[in-house]
A and B are shown apart, each in its own frame.
Chain A
C-alpha cells in the first residue's frame, strides 16, 4: 500500500507543480525547456537500454515451445508456437507483439477444495483490457501528430475520423479517449483487488498507471471542459519540432499540466518497466526459432577448455574391474 500511496502522491504533486508553475508565469519552462530535456532523456535512455541488451550475447537458443515441434513429415507442426524457421519465428513475434498471444492463453486458478478439485478457467480479461489499453494509447498517440505536422497527413485525419465516428457531443468524443481510461482503470483496479497482484505491486507499478490516467484525464479535461485554444497549442508544438520554440499567449494551465505529465512519462520511460516496449522484441524465449537440433547455434563465450572427464580417465579408474567383468578396454592392464 505504501507503493500505491507514494505513486499517487507523486503524480498529484507533479500535476500540481505544472499547474501552479504554468499559472505563475513559468510557461517557458514547461512549454520549452522541460519537453526538450524529457525527449532527450527518452531517446538517449531508450537507445542505451536497447543497445545494452542487444550487445549482450544470448548464449543459448532457449525458445519456449508452445506446441508440436518440427518432426517427422506426417506430424503436424505448430508452426507459430514452435517455429523452426526465421519466417515462422517472425510470425510468432508478430502475433505476440500485435495480438498479445501469450496473454490470450491466460487461465485462472480455481481451487475448489469442497469438490476436491483444482480447475483452471480461461481468463481473457487481462488480455482484453491490456489490448484495449495499448491500442487506444497507440491511436491517441498517432492522433496527436496533427499538432506537430502541417499539413496534417491524411492517415491521421482518417484515424481521427474513425475514432470519432459516433459523433457524440461537441467537440466530438474520441472513442479511444474513453477506452484508454477504461483500460487503465481496469489495470489499476485488478492490482488493487487481486491480492496476489497487490502483494507483488511496487510503487513503480502504480506510478505509470496513475501517470497515464492523469495524462488521459487532463487531456480529456482540456478538450471537453476547458476547450483550450487548439490553434495556439499547435503553434507551440510546431515551434518545438521545428526548433523555433515559441510560447503563444493565453494557453490554459491545463495544457501545461497535461504536457508536463507527458514529459514526465517520456523521461521516466527508459528507467522503468515501460521498457517492455523494447524488451519484448529481445526476449530469447520468443524471438528464436526452435531449430537447435538442425542448426548449430553459436555462443560467443563458449569455453573450449571445458572438457569431459575423458573415457581414458574413466578406464584408468576402473580398468581391472572392467576386464574382470568382460567389458572391452582400450588398454590392457
Chain B
C-alpha cells in the first residue's frame, strides 16, 4: 500500500492501444496485478489437480504434461454442458458496446480488460480448436493455438474480472463475460492454475463453515464478544442461539460479518433486530458462511458449498431461511441454489411472523433476504426507528453488483435506508442501480496482493463517491454485501477519504428504539451520538 501512487496519478489512465496486435502482447506479471496461486496443501484438500509450488512470475508454470488435452477436453465438455458458453462463443459481433463498461478497463486502460477482448482470449482458442472456418483462415479469423502464454494470459485476465456482469447489461446479445470468466476458471482449475484467495476460503468454508477457518468454539466466542459490546452500548443482553433445533428461522450471513470491521457492526444490527422482534431465529456455526467461494471456482464447488444451507435447515427443522447482507450469496441463491440443491420441500414458504406477509417471491427457494424482511417490517409500522440516532450521517447507497445485476434489489434497501437516516442522496445515475460499479473485490479478488489493481478497478466507484462527497457532503456509503464492507473502506480511503462504509443493518440497529430502553449515548461503533454528551470525554 505504501508504494501506491496518489489518486491523481492513478486516475491518469493511458487508454491508447498498443502498437502490436493483442495476440502478440504477452502478459506482464507485476506485484499488484495478480493474486498468489493456490497452495499445494489446499489444492490437495479440495481434490484439485496438480498441487505444486509456483508463482505467476516464474517462466515455467509446471503445468501437467498433457495440459493441452485437459483443456481441450474440458472445453469440449463445457461447450456441451453450457448453452450460454456456446452461444457467447459464437455471436459476439465485437461491436464494442461493452468495451468501456468494465471497471478494470476504466481503471487500467489495459485493452485486455475490455470485456469483449477478455472473452476473445477464450474465443480465439474456441475458434482455433473447434471451428472449421477458423482452421482454414487461421490467425486472420482471430483464432490461435493453445500455447503456454495463452494460459498465462487467461490467468492474468480471468483473475482480473470480478464477474460483476456490468458488461452483460450493455451487450446487445446479453453476452455475460462473468459466465465466460466462470468457465475459464473452471478450465484453469483442471490444470492447477488458480489463486489461493479462492481456494483457501473455499476449503475453510467446507470444513469449518466459514471462510477464515474459525472453529466452532471460537466462532461462538466472537459472537459473545459482540453480544457484550451490544450490552455496553444499549444495556440489553441479547441471547442468540446456535444450532437450535425446531427454531422457526435459520439465519445465514457471510462470515465476514462476524470477523472484521465494519461488518461486525452490521452483525450487531442483526442481533438487535432479532431481539427487538423476539424472532424465533437460530444461527449455525456449521452453515455460517453465506458467501460462496465455490462460485469463483466451478459449478461443482459452488453446489457443494451451497448445499450446506439446505442441509442444515433440514437437520434443524426450521421453517425457512433468512439470509443476511451478502452479494455472492444472493447471486448464487437467486440463480443457482434451487436448481442445484432444491427442491426445498422440507421448508415452508417464508411468512413474516410479525407482519404476516407471505414472501411468494421466494416460494420455491424458501429463503428471503433480510432487507426484504426489514422493508416489510418498516412498511407495516412494526419498527420504532429514530433517525436522529444516525444524525450527522449523509448517506449514499452502493448497489452491490450481485444483488443488482444478479437479482434486482434496488428499492427495498433504499426504502430501509431512507427510514433510518435523515439525509440520503444517490450517486450519479450512470453509476448506480443496474449500472452500478463494482467495488473491485468480487469473485475472489479481495486479497492483499491485488490491492493496486483493485484500487484501479475502484476508480469509477470511488470517483462517483467523491462526487457526492464534494457536492452533497456525503460521509457514509451503505451497502448490503460483505465483500463491499471489506473492500469499500480501502477504496473510500483512497478515492474519497473521509467517507465511512456501513452495512444497512448497522444503521437499522442504531435507529431501533426499544420499549423502555436506557437512552443510548453511543452508536454501534461506540462513537458518541451527535448532540449527546457521552460518558467518554469530548474530543
Contact = CB atoms under 8 A, between A and B. Distances in A.
Given A72-B412, A279-B87, A284-B83, A6 B96 contact: no
Interface stretch (B49-57, B74-82, B418-426, B477-485): B74-82
B17 A196 contact: yes
Contacts, number: 321
Interface stretch (A175-183, A242-250, A290-298): A290-298
Interface in B359-379: 360-365, 367, 372, 375-376, 379
A271 B141 CA distance: 11
Given A102-B172, A120-B431, A202-B140, A272 B133 contact: yes
B33 interface: no
Given A59-B299, A327-B243, A65 B87 contact: no
B22 interface: yes
Interface in B398-452: 404-412, 415, 428, 430-431, 433-435
A57 B431 contact: no
A296 B169 contact: no
A311 B174 contact: no
B345 to A, nearest CB: 10
Contact of B361 (A71, A190, A308): A71
Q: Give the size category of A's interface with B.
A: 35 or more
B526 interface: no
B304 A307 contact: yes
Contacts of A6: 140
Contact of A321 (B95, B217, B242): B217
Interface in A237-271: 271
Given A74-B379, A200-B120, A314-B209, A69 B407 contact: yes
Of B81, B96, B215, most buried by chain A (CB within 10 Å of CB) is B96
A303 interface: yes
B523 to A, nearest CB: 28
Interface in B95-123: 95-97, 99-101, 106, 111, 114, 116-117, 120
B408 A67 contact: yes
B165 A64 contact: yes
A283 to B, nearest CB: 4
B459 interface: yes
A2 interface: yes
B150 interface: no
B339 A302 contact: yes
Interface in A19-75: 49, 52-54, 56-72, 74-75
Interface string B374-388: 011001000000000
A200 B132 contact: no
B290 to A, nearest CB: 14
Interface string A155-198: 00000000000000000000000000000000000100011111
A100 B172 contact: yes
B286 A296 contact: no
A20 to B, nearest CB: 24
A53 B82 CA distance: 9
B528 interface: no
Given A61-B339, A279-B90, 5 more contacts: A2-B140, A59-B82, A106-B170, A120-B431, A285-B175
